[in-house]
Structures are given as C-alpha cells and as structure tokens.
Chains A and B, each alone.
Chain A
Amino acid sequence: MKRSFVAAITLFLLINIGGCQGGQIRGDFSDKNWLHDGLGYYLKEPLNMKLNKFSLGAGVGDPHIIGEAKTGMFNSKSVVVSDIPMQDIVYNALKDAFSKMGFVIVDERNSADLITTGQISQFWSREFANGWTPEYAKAAVRYDLVIRDNNDKVFWAKSVDVEEKSTGIGVIFDATSSVIPTLKKALSQSIFQVVNDANFQAALNKIRKNAQALESDAAYSR
C-alpha cells in the first residue's frame, strides 16, 4: 500500500516536472519559396530604393525567439527559435518583394529615390493546445513601415498588421507542425498588404506621372 502510494506520488511528480520542461523548436526562414506568389503590382520603370534594417519595439524581447509551441504528451511549452533574427527575416522578405516589383535595391542613400525605415512590434506564432479543444496555431506580424523620398518627405507610411490562423483538419490533434508555416503565411500576407496598398500604388503612380510630365516639359522646351 505504502509502496504503491510512493510510486504514484513519484509518477505524479515526474509527469508534472516533465510537463514543466520546455524544449526548443527551430524555424527555418532561409528558404524563400513560400514568399508572395504573384505580387499583383509591378513597376513599369525601375526606381532605386534604400532599405534600412528594422528596429525592434520595446515589447519585443530576444529577436531570435519567434513563438511558442506545445510539445510532448503533456503539451509542455517550448520556445520557437530562428537562427535569423526577426528583423532580418522581415527585411529579407521585403527586399525580395521590392526587387520582384521592379525596385533596384541600392546601398547608398544618395542614389536612392525612396528610403525605407521600419519598426517591428510583433513577429510571433503560438500553438494553442489544451487537451480539450481542437488545436491550432496563430501568428501575428506587426510592423511600421515608413518610406521617404530623397527630400526626406514621407512618401507613404503604414502600420502593417496581419494575423493568421492555421487551417486544415490535420492540425486539430497536433498543431505544432503548423506554428512556422502559419508565421510564414502571416509574413507573406503582410508583404502582400504592403505591395497592394492602394495609397502606396497611388503614390508610385504619381511618381511615374511626374516623371512623364518632366520628360514632356523637357521635350516642350526643346
């Protein structure tokens, strides 16, 4: 009786200690194939753009920690870690998208038509699993993006705010595997939100019209 009680207590403690221990999941963002298939807007003539690295908002801790998953039999909390810091992930994704749009990414501010700065306030994915209800992952990507012209005037600015939830029946029993894909989906969606913003496109169209007007003025004066 006594022995079985001790065994039960030991088992209980082991389960609880096991439940408290968190592991680590690695997220791979080096492959960019998942990014923005079909941007929906492309420049007719190239513009030079200088992309500055993103800063991190005060609420963001370690830029390598990008989420939380529930792993193991007892849904222990595990951190999701990326080798690439979140500001580089967002920077690389935008750089790639702007290049595909037709921008020429330049290093020198002096040769840039447009200069971007930004701040990340959230880049996070989380698995919701409690053992009772269907599991899912939810990701949020939030950053401010300010684009200025070469006279330092604001060309366009936006707070990008995207939330994505994992989909599919397969994940309802274990959503750990969808933590990273959901975050990638949210990032991809955020890029799409930037490129397809009506004010951003209107501002770009205005530059082109101005350029055309200048060309015709020059032709007229000749």
Chain B
Amino acid sequence: MKGSIIKVLLIACLSMAGCATYGHRTFTTDIFNKYHVVKNGLSMRFEPVIDKEKSTWYLNLSPAKYDLLPVFLSIENESGHIKRINIDGVYLMAKLEQIKYASLPIETAVKTIQSSGWIPSLLFGAVGSFAAGSVEESKDEDIYHKAFRPRIIEPGGRGQGLLFFKVPKDDILNKEFALCLIIDNLDNNSTEEEWLSFETR
C-alpha cells in the first residue's frame, strides 16, 4: 500500500516536472537569416525552418513531423511608403514541379500540431492527459506568438514571424521553393507581388 502511494506520488511529480520544462524561445532574426533580399525598399530576411536542431530549439517541435514547413520572414520597410503585408494570398511554389502550397492560417497550423495531443491521454490516462495538456497549451501559445501576422508596416517599421505551409514531409527536403508575397502599397492603392527564392538542402 505504502509502495503504491509512493509510486503514485512519483508519477505525479514526474508529470508536473514535465509541465515545468517547456521553455519559450523569444524572437530573433539572428538564427533565421540565411537569405537576404532588398526589393522596392523592403529589406527581407528569410529562412525555411528545416534544421531539426534549430527548429527543436526554437519551436520545441519538429514541424516536418506534422507535414508543416514554416518559413521565418522578417521585413523592414525602408521604402518611405506605408505597406501592408497581406498573408491571405501568400503561397509557396516548388519550382521544378510547379506545385503550389497555400499558407495556413496560424489557427489551422496550431490545430495540425494539436491533432496528435490525444495520444498521451490514451497512454497515461488523466494524469498524462492533464500534464500533456499543460505542455500543449504552452506550445500553442508559443506558436501563436511566433506567427507572422498580416500587418501594416510604416516607414522604418518591421514585421516578422513564421509563415506556415502544408507541405508533405517527403516533399520538403532537397527542393527549390519560391515564396510569393502579396504587398499592398497603401499610398497609391496598388498591390505588388514579391518572389523570394530559397532551397531546402
């Protein structure tokens, strides 16, 4: 009896320790700046998040596992005009195959990651489910924070974050992609497309 109580306490302690180990990494352009392009007064730094070590450190997960390809994007507006980065029409194009991948709204990306969250509850019952739930909530919140939001960037301002694309795991590596951005120039009511090319080698 005494042994079982100790076991239960031990499991509870381990579960709670699991809750406490989730760490949030704050935004940094220093780790995802492999590509840099300046076009029409916009200075854009970007990099696909494919490096397992980097993505695990930054997101606490491996996005490819969920058939997700996140692309980190940082845009500084040096144009002197007010621009709006419109992510509704953003897509990724696999250059050789000419396959288009639409960007996922952040809510959908989070749901894709969440869909595996029921496994701990089956394996470990209520304790595991609650503990896993705690970590999952922290993870969701973290990803929400790191998402690139459609935004108005005033001259001198900057917008940055992750864009998520639904790309099958096997199609992610060793590809040449082109990211199509839709940018509204609010000053003259015009819309322009910017293409950003990168490789996933």
Contact = CB atoms under 8 A, between A and B. Distances in A.
Interface of A: 57-59, 61, 119, 121-122, 128, 130-133, 138, 140, 142, 144, 146, 152-154, 157-159, 161, 199
B95 interface: no
A128 B150 contact: no
Given A57-B88, A59-B107, A157-B186, A132 B149 contact: no
Contacts of B107: 59, 61
Contact of B154 (A133, A152, A157, A161): A157
A146 B149 contact: no
Interface stretch (B43-51, B64-72, B129-137, B193-201): B129-137
B137 A130 contact: yes
A159 B184 CA distance: 14
Nearest to A117: B186
Given A57-B88, A132-B131, A132-B134, A158 B152 contact: yes
B19 A132 contact: yes
Nearest to B16: A132
B82 A154 contact: yes
B48 to A, nearest CB: 21
Question: Mostly helix, strand, loop or mixed at chain A's interface?
Answer: strand
Interface in B6-29: 15-16, 19
B116 interface: no
B187 to A, nearest CB: 6
B133 A130 contact: yes
Contact of A157 (B105, B130, B134, B152): B152
Interface of B: 15-16, 19, 82, 84, 87-88, 105-108, 130-131, 133-134, 137, 141, 144, 149-154, 159, 186-187, 189
Given A130-B133, A131-B130, A144-B152, 17 more contacts: A59-B108, A61-B107, A121-B149, A130-B130, A130-B131, A130-B134, A132-B19, A133-B19, A144-B151, A152-B189, A157-B82, A157-B186, A158-B154, A159-B152, A159-B153, A159-B159, A161-B149
Contacts of B16: 132
B131 A154 contact: no
A199 B152 CA distance: 14
A206 to B, nearest CB: 16
Contacts, number: 63
Nearest to B189: A152
Given A121-B149, A121-B150, A131-B130, A154 B88 contact: no
A146 B186 contact: yes
Contacts of A58: 87-88, 105
B89 to A, nearest CB: 8
Given A58-B105, A130-B134, A152-B189, A138 B141 contact: yes
A96 to B, nearest CB: 23
A157 B153 CA distance: 9
Contacts of A158: 152, 154
- 4 shortest A-B CB distances, which residue pairs? A59-B105, A159-B151, A58-B88, A130-B134
B186 A159 contact: no
A89 B7 CA distance: 52
Contacts of B19: 130, 132-133
A199 B154 CA distance: 10
B150 A119 contact: yes
A207 B186 CA distance: 20
16 contacts: A57-B150, A58-B105, A59-B105, A131-B130, A132-B130, A132-B131, A142-B149, A146-B152, A153-B187, A157-B84, A157-B152, A157-B186, A159-B150, A159-B151, A159-B152, A199-B154
Nearest to A154: B186
A59 B151 CA distance: 13
| Most A C-beta atoms less than 10 A away, residue of B106, B131, B152 | B152
Nearest to B84: A144
